[in-house]
């Protein structure tokens, strides 16, 4: 597609990158069909092709972000379904991330929007703060119906309270910075990205991962100094905090890699996995680029790593049907589609897949709070498709989806919890009831 | 791109027209801010761009009728738009026109398995119809390469084809009925759940009329029971001409495969990079041949086809061994246009038809033209029915390159007509081939066709400035 940047604009490395991405787009429109917001809203402006056009116009003008562009870029889930569909290989993720940065730098949002974003960016990456907030939110949850009004602020507040768990799980026995020894002969050593929000919302996921890996002879280290991957801030266009988080992780993991050694950095939250795998690009032109690339190269989704080292169940098949919900960050962001299903089958589950599996459930990081008009519609559509498969359970590889889909009449767990259970671990919570 | 003079009185009344639309449609259904209209300035042919007066996104047939009635009264031109995937600029706006987009009318209304048909709104995607019926073993046959995204209303407008039309026919052969809205805002139903609509063949007339006669809001399509099985094979050859001769030989032997597709070297490489289908990278030309039926039928047909291919000194012959392999083979072909975006920043996708016997000659001449003008061309097309899609690669950031590409494209289409073919196979004339129409038709022929438009739309409000050359004296209002 034609672009109209001046030679001076093109000297800016950001614009040069954007120009390269825009020039790969041939405007064929294939991406529109698999974009969740286009399917719901039926407007070119809420499709990837429309957004690409808006972003192109914004970058070419050099005048910063106008409200009309912000509105439609904000509605993008960053599910990256468009990247799976695109035959031309347009790197939409890098383009929209750049647009978000421009928006953050040049557009002054209404006060309540700024407040909501600051709140999320100040809470979610910090387990201590999030935990306190969640205790409050859980207590206030029954009051969500009493929040009055139809303003964006009221809708967001209701969405936030609805997402709070009814009862917050306590911190787990295995959490915290430490090294978990391999059982039996040690076959490998990995770092686990313990993550941020996940440790508060469902610490069982990390515990199951640690139990399963150590049982398979893998030493698991939760490295000192590693924390949030930075995705949350990154997707809100907050460049500096995102880079700071990533920098801390890179330092922490390379210390381990250069010390006792690492075969992989295992990530069990696919949203984070997509970002860690992109560290190389995030640090392009920076002093730490080589280190960032090294970390990105070591990052593996837990399903990838289990496939690599080999997984086998020790329990008899439970006779349960599992609907596999493909998290967008896994299927589109990391192009991991077969592994989780194959592992679940190997574990003895009957695996079914919902129709429209490529469509996002509406979780998308903070999207379910920031876009309270669209996210619930995607959730309903996803739940409807999942219910149709008549599953006993739903398995997903991302805490965001699990939180989003919980409470919809289905038991939703992380795939790794089911794999751990079938290999000798405890029955995951909620699963006992469906058996 | 030359456009007709905008109507000054319409431009002057823009605010009132937008207000009128807002009175008919919900708030989000009218787009009038310049920045937000920008993505509607073009379609699948982004070399041509024009900002519209406004964009309207109706959700029901009644809303479409109300919008058209209002715009007709105001004398405002209308550009119907589906998914905006047209490769001939069929949805290119005009400065004084309202784009009426059908993307919100995306519901499947009724599936009638007993009578084997489905009633769908115009904004349902082509593949959306098959997706809705495939659990019961049915499918909708015409399969344009953009079938994932393109909408059935647009398919009717352009009488779209696809790889499998060799066996199943194009859109016109798979329609049973339409609900349409005239420019006056009248809703008309044609046909039903049965073969052959009553009276004159209105379906035949409206299909392929490029949004110039009526706006289609609902479509009744025929759905077919899927075959017992299908298998694709790849046949690789040392030159385009040899592959062309092989196509000719297969068709003239009396075998009609369900699909018979051709790719040349640049296309093979682009598609393989995207689909990893196992296309032979050492070949100059590749045929994708698909047969269907019982295993015995498939084996028999593939055996015969292999025999014929063997007479043309093939580099390799490979039959897909699994459904996944067949799928990957088609994924490459269906994504071919976009995949060319990997090897060239931009392309023009031409669409002409020729008698299949002329394939070798036409491919050689296209090669010569490519050498002469210095622009690369990737040839991807439905070889079985002689429908060529040469993709001319150029650089849109270089105006000279675009001008050369346009001229090269026009020369290819002239060649198609010269050898007894036609300007368009399935993409429609749009704006792209508008000015080449006199190559195909005499002034009398064109005048007769214009009279048909006059009968439906005397004010020339529906998608004007497409199909007919601007210089020709339009019978009525467009000149006024």
State pLDDT tens for residues B322-353: 888 888 888 888 778 778 877 888 999 999 99
What confidence tier does A435 reach under pLDDT thresholds 50, 70, 90? Answer: low
Which CATH number fits the domain that encloses residue A392? 3.40.50
Task: Write the DSSP assignment of B388-401 as a string of letters.
Answer: E-EEEEE-TT-HHH
Q: Give the chain B residue whose CA is nearest to the CA of A21.
A: B345
Q: How far apart are CA A23 and CA A368, in angstroms?
A: 32
Nearest to A291 by CA among A340, A342, A256: A256
By DSSP bridging, strand B77-81 and strand B54-56 are unpaired
CA distance A154 to chain B (A): 21
Domain end residue (candidates: B85, B101, B117): B101
Cβ atoms within 10 A of the Cβ of B410, count?
A: 17
Say whether both A299 and A344 belong to one domain: no
Q: Please give the pLDDT value at position B470.
A: 87
For the ranges A145-154, A324-333, B361-370, which has the lowest average pLDDT? A145-154
B478: which residues sit within 8 A by CB, 6+ positions away? B4, B460, B464, B465
Per DSSP, what are the bridge partners of residue B54?
A: B98
Mean pLDDT across the stretch A422-431? 93
- Asked if B400 is an interface residue toward chain A (Cβ–Cβ < 8 A), one would say no
In our burial notation (b when 16+ CB lie closer than 10 A, e otherwise), range B422-441 reads bbbbbbbbbbbbbbbbeebb
Q: Which of residues 39-58 of A touch B (CB under 8 A)?
A: 39, 41-45, 49-50, 53-54, 57
In this structure, what is the dihedral angle of CA atoms A353, A359, A361, A366, given to the nearest 10 degrees? 140
Q: Please give the pLDDT value at position B466.
A: 95
Domain end residue (candidates: B418, B434, B459): B418
Mutation site for B-interface testing, chosen from A23, A44, A91, A377 by largest number of B Cβ within 10 Å: A44
Assess if residue A170 is contained within a domain.
Answer: no
What confidence tier does B474 reach under pLDDT thresholds 50, 70, 90? Answer: low
Predicted confidence (pLDDT) at residue B185 exceeds the cutoff of 90: yes
**Which of B104, B123, B146 comes nearest A28 by C-beta?**
B146
Tell me whether residues B46 and A68 touch, CB distance under 8 A: no
Say whether both A198 and A149 belong to one domain: no
Tell me whether residues B44 and A28 touch, CB distance under 8 A: yes
CA distance B80 to chain A (A): 14
Tell me whether residues A32 and B40 touch, CB distance under 8 A: no
Predicted confidence (pLDDT) at residue A298 exceeds the cutoff of 80: yes
Q: Please give the pLDDT value at position B476.
A: 43
Q: Give the chain B residue whose CA is nearest to the CA of A65.
A: B35
Q: Which of residues 7-26 of A touch B (CB under 8 A)?
A: 23-26
Tell me whether residues A34 and B337 touch, CB distance under 8 A: no
- The SS3 of residue B343 is coil
Q: Please give the pLDDT value at position B196.
A: 81
Say whether both A280 and A331 belong to one domain: no
Contact B150, B43 (CB under 8 A): no
Say whether both A182 and A303 belong to one domain: yes
Mean pLDDT across the stretch A392-411? 95
Say whether both A87 and A126 belong to one domain: no
Say whether both B200 and B56 belong to one domain: no
Alpha-carbon distances, residue A342 vs A133, A304, A312, A355, A431 (angstroms): 38, 11, 11, 19, 20
**Which of A26, A43, A72 comes nearest B341 by C-beta?**
A26
Q: How far apart are CA B9 and CA B18, in angstroms?
A: 14
Say whether both B120 and B269 belong to one domain: no
Range of the domain at A72: 7-106
pLDDT (tens digit per residue) in B290-327 = 999 999 999 999 999 999 999 999 999 999 988 888 88
The beta-strand segments (E) located in B106-174 are 108-112, 117-121, 138-139
Mean pLDDT across the stretch A5-31? 95
Nearest to B421 by CA among B366, B474, B372, B464: B366
Mean pLDDT across the stretch A240-250? 96
Predicted confidence (pLDDT) at residue B113 exceeds the cutoff of 80: yes
Q: Give the chain A residue whose CA is nearest to the CA of B397.
A: A2
Contact list, A32 vs chain B (CB under 8 Å): 83-84, 149
Say whether both B292 and B156 belong to one domain: no
Domain end residue (candidates: A279, A307, A335): A307
Q: Please give the pLDDT value at position B460.
A: 95
Tell me whether residues A57 and B146 touch, CB distance under 8 A: no
Contact list, A38 vs chain B (CB under 8 Å): 103
Contact list, A45 vs chain B (CB under 8 Å): 31, 36, 39
Assess if residue B447 is contained within a domain.
Answer: no
Contact list, B148 vs chain A (CB under 8 Å): 30, 33-34, 85
Say whether both B211 and B297 belong to one domain: no
Assess if residue A303 is contained within a domain.
Answer: yes
Contact B474, B450 (CB under 8 A): yes
Say whether both B275 and B302 belong to one domain: yes
Say whether both B236 and B250 belong to one domain: yes
Mean pLDDT across the stretch B110-123? 97
Tell me whether residues A45 and B36 touch, CB distance under 8 A: yes
Q: Sign of the C-alpha dihedral, residues B103, B109, B113, B115?
A: negative
Tell me whether residues A54 and B35 touch, CB distance under 8 A: yes
Nearest to A216 by CA among A272, A258, A266, A177: A266
Say whether both A395 and A414 belong to one domain: yes
Nearest to A199 by CA among A131, A133, A140, A251: A131
CA distance A304 to chain B (A): 21
Assess if residue B441 is contained within a domain.
Answer: no
Say whether both B138 and B13 belong to one domain: no
Q: Does residue B382 or residue A244 have the better pLDDT?
A: A244
Q: Which of A85-89, A283-287, B343-347 has the highest mean predicted lDDT (pLDDT)?
A: A283-287
Tell me whether residues A27 and B42 touch, CB distance under 8 A: yes
Which CATH number fits the domain that encloses residue B146? 3.30.465.10
Tell me whether residues A87 and B38 touch, CB distance under 8 A: no
The total number of structural domains in chain B stands at 3
Mean pLDDT across the stretch B274-300? 92
Nearest to B480 by CA among B72, B70, B8, B18: B8
Q: Give the chain B residue whose CA is nearest to the CA of A40.
A: B104
Say whether both A338 and A399 belong to one domain: yes
What confidence tier does A111 reach under pLDDT thresholds 50, 70, 90? Answer: very high
Predicted confidence (pLDDT) at residue B226 exceeds the cutoff of 50: yes
Radius of gyration of chain A measured on its C-alpha atoms: 21
Mean pLDDT across the stretch A50-71? 97
- The SS3 of residue B366 is helix
Assess if residue B342 is contained within a domain.
Answer: yes
In our burial notation (b when 16+ CB lie closer than 10 A, e otherwise), range A153-173 reads bebbbbbbbbbbbeeeeeebe
Predicted confidence (pLDDT) at residue A3 exceeds the cutoff of 90: yes
Q: Does residue A300 or residue A131 have the better pLDDT?
A: A300
Assess if residue B424 is contained within a domain.
Answer: no
Q: Does residue A388 or residue B356 have the better pLDDT?
A: A388
Say whether both A198 and A243 belong to one domain: yes
pLDDT (tens digit per residue) in B54-109 = 999 999 999 999 999 999 999 999 999 999 999 999 999 999 999 999 999 999 99
A327: which residues sit within 8 A by CB, 6+ positions away? A270, A271, A396, A397, A398, A400, A401
Residue A333 DSSP symbol: I
Q: Give the chain B residue whose CA is nearest to the CA of A72.
A: B36
Say whether both A95 and A144 belong to one domain: no
Q: How far apart are CA B253 and CA B251, in angstroms?
A: 5
* Mean per-residue pLDDT over chain A, rounded: 94
CA angle, A86 then A89 then A91, to 5°: 100
Q: Please give the pLDDT value at position B384.
A: 84
Q: How far apart are CA B25 and CA B57, in angstroms?
A: 8
Q: Please give the pLDDT value at position B385.
A: 84
Domain end residue (candidates: A106, A134, A154): A106
- Asked if B106 is an interface residue toward chain A (Cβ–Cβ < 8 A), one would say yes
Tell me whether residues B84 and A85 touch, CB distance under 8 A: no
Provide the ipTM. Answer: 0.92
Which CATH number fits the domain that encloses residue B21? 3.30.43.10
**Which of A2, A45, A50 comes nearest B396 by C-beta?**
A2
Element (H, E) at B378: strand B377-382
Predicted confidence (pLDDT) at residue B480 exceeds the cutoff of 70: no
CA angle, B6 then B12 then B15, to 5°: 120
Contact list, B342 vs chain A (CB under 8 Å): 24, 88-89
- Asked if B42 is an interface residue toward chain A (Cβ–Cβ < 8 A), one would say yes
Say whether both B237 and B345 belong to one domain: yes
The total number of structural domains in chain A stands at 4
Predicted confidence (pLDDT) at residue B479 exceeds the cutoff of 90: no
Assess if residue B345 is contained within a domain.
Answer: yes
**Which of A43, A66, A86 comes nearest B103 by C-beta?**
A43
Assess if residue B95 is contained within a domain.
Answer: yes
Predicted confidence (pLDDT) at residue B472 exceeds the cutoff of 80: no
Mean pLDDT across the stretch B179-195? 96
In our burial notation (b when 16+ CB lie closer than 10 A, e otherwise), range B127-145 reads bbbbbbbeeeebbbbbbbb
* The pair of three-digit structure tokens given for residue B432, joined into one six-digit string: 């792209």
Mutation site for B-interface testing, chosen from A27, A50, A338 by largest number of B Cβ within 10 Å: A27
Say whether both B22 and B63 belong to one domain: yes
Assess if residue B3 is contained within a domain.
Answer: no
Mean pLDDT across the stretch A328-332? 97
Say whether both A194 and A238 belong to one domain: yes
In the block, tokens 């700024």 appear at A114
Assess if residue A205 is contained within a domain.
Answer: yes
- Asked if B50 is an interface residue toward chain A (Cβ–Cβ < 8 A), one would say no
* Mean per-residue pLDDT over chain B, rounded: 93
Range of the domain at B79: 8-101
Contact B190, B177 (CB under 8 A): yes
Tell me whether residues A87 and B339 touch, CB distance under 8 A: yes
Say whether both B405 and B266 belong to one domain: yes
Assess if residue A191 is contained within a domain.
Answer: yes
Which CATH number fits the domain that encloses residue A12? 1.10.1060.10
Say whether both B160 and B273 belong to one domain: no
For the ranges A104-118, A420-434, B114-128, B411-425, which has the lowest average pLDDT? A420-434
Say whether both A205 and A134 belong to one domain: no
- The SS3 of residue A62 is coil
Cβ atoms within 10 A of the Cβ of A67, count?
A: 13
Q: Please give the pLDDT value at position B477.
A: 44
Domain end residue (candidates: B86, B101, B116): B101
């Amino acid at each position: 597609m034609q672009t109209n940047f001046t030679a001076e604009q093109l000297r800016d490395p950001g614009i040069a990158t954007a120009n390269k991405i825009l020039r790969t787009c041939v405007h064929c429109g294939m991406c529109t069909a698999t974009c969740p917001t286009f399917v719901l809203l039926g407007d070119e402006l809420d499709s990837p092709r429309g957004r690409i056009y808006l972003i192109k116009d914004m970058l070419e003008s050099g005048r910063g972000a106008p409200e009309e562009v912000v509105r439609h870029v904000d509605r993008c889930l960053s599910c990256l379904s468009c990247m799976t569909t695109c035959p031309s290989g347009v790197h939409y993720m890098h383009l929209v991330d750049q647009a978000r940065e421009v928006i953050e730098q040049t557009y002054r949002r209404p006060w309540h929007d700024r407040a909501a974003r600051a709140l999320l960016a100040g809470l979610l990456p910090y387990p201590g703060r999030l935990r306190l907030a969640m205790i409050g939110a859980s207590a206030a949850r029954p009051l969500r119906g009493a929040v009055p009004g139809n303003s964006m602020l009221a809708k967001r507040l209701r969405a936030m309270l609805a997402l709070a768990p009814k009862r917050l799980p306590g911190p787990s026995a295995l959490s915290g910075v430490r090294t978990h020894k391999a059982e039996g002969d040690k076959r490998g050593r990995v770092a686990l990205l313990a993550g941020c929000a996940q440790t508060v919302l469902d610490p069982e996921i990390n515990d199951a991962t640690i139990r399963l890996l150590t049982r398979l002879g893998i030493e698991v280290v939760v490295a000192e100094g590693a924390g949030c991957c930075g995705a949350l801030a990154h997707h809100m266009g907050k460049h500096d905090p995102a880079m700071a988080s990533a920098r801390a992780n890179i330092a922490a993991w390379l210390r381990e890699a250069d010390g006792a050694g690492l075969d992989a950095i295992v990530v069990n939250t696919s949203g984070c996995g997509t970002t860690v795998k992109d560290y190389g690009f995030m640090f392009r032109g920076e002093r730490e680029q080589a280190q960032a690339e090294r970390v990105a190269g070591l990052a593996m989704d837990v399903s990838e790593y289990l496939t690599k080292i080999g997984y086998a169940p020790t329990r008899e098949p439970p006779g349960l049907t599992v609907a596999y919900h493909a998290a967008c960050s896994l299927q589109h962001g990391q192009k991991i589609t077969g592994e989780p299903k194959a592992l679940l089958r190997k574990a003895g589950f009957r695996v079914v897949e919902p129709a429209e599996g490529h469509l996002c459930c509406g979780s998308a990081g903070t999207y379910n709070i920031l876009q309270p008009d669209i996210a619930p519609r995607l959730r309903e559509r996803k739940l409807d498709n999942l219910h149709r498969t008549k599953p006993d359970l739903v398995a997903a590889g991302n805490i965001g989806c699990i939180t989003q889909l919980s409470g919809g009449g289905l038991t939703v767990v992380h795939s790794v919890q089911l794999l751990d259970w079938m290999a000798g671990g405890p029955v995951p919570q909620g699963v006992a009831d469906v058996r | 791109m030359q456009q007709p003079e905008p109507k000054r009185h319409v431009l002057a009344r823009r605010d009132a027209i937008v207000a009128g639309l807002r009175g008919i449609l919900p708030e989000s259904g009218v787009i009038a801010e310049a920045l937000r209209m920008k993505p509607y300035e073009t379609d699948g042919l982004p070399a041509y761009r024009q900002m519209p007066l406004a964009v309207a996104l109706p959700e029901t047939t009644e809303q479409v009728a109300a919008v058209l009635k209002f715009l007709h009264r105001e004398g405002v031109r209308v550009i119907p738009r589906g998914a905006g995937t047209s490769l001939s600029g069929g949805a290119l706006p005009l400065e004084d026109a309202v784009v009426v987009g059908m993307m919100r009318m995306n519901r499947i209304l009724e599936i009638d398995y007993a009578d084997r048909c489905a009633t769908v709104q115009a904004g349902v995607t082509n593949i959306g119809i098959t997706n809705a019926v495939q659990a019961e073993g049915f499918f909708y046959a015409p399969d344009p390469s953009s079938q994932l995204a393109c909408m059935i209303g647009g398919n009717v407008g352009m009488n779209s084809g696809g790889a499998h039309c060799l066996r199943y026919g194009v859109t016109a052969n798979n329609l049973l009925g339409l609900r349409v809205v005239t420019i006056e805002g009248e809703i008309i139903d044609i046909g039903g759940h049965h073969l052959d609509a009553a009276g004159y063949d209105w379906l035949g007339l409206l299909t392929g009329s490029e949004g110039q006669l009526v706006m289609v809001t609902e479509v009744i399509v025929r759905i077919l029971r899927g075959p017992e099985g299908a298998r694709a094979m790849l046949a690789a050859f040392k030159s385009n001409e040899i592959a062309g001769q092989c196509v000719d030989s297969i068709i003239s032997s009396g075998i009609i495969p369900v699909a018979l597709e051709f790719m040349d070297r640049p296309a093979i490489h682009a598609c393989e990079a995207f689909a990893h289908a196992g296309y032979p990278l050492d070949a100059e030309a590749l045929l994708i041949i698909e047969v269907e039926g019982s295993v015995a039928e498939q084996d028999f047909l593939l055996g015969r086809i292999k025999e014929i291919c063997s007479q043309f000194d093939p580099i390799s012959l490979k039959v897909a061994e699994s459904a996944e392999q067949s799928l990957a083979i088609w994924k490459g072909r269906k994504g071919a246009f976009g995949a060319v975006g990997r090897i060239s920043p931009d392309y023009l996708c031409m669409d002409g038809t020729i008698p299949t016997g002329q394939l070798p000659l036409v491919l050689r001449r296209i090669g010569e033209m490519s050498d002469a003008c210095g622009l690369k061309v990737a040839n991807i097309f439905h070889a079985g029915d002689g429908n060529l899609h040469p993709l001319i690669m150029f650089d849109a950031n270089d105006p000279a390159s675009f001008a050369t590409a346009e001229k090269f494209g026009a020369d290819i289409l002239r060649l198609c007509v010269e050898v007894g073919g036609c300007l368009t196979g399935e993409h429609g004339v749009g704006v792209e081939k508008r000015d080449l129409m006199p190559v195909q038709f005499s002034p009398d022929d064109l005048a007769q066709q214009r009279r048909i438009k006059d009968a439906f739309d005397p004010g020339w409000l529906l998608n004007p400035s497409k199909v007919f050359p601007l210089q020709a004296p339009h019978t009525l209002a467009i000149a006024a």
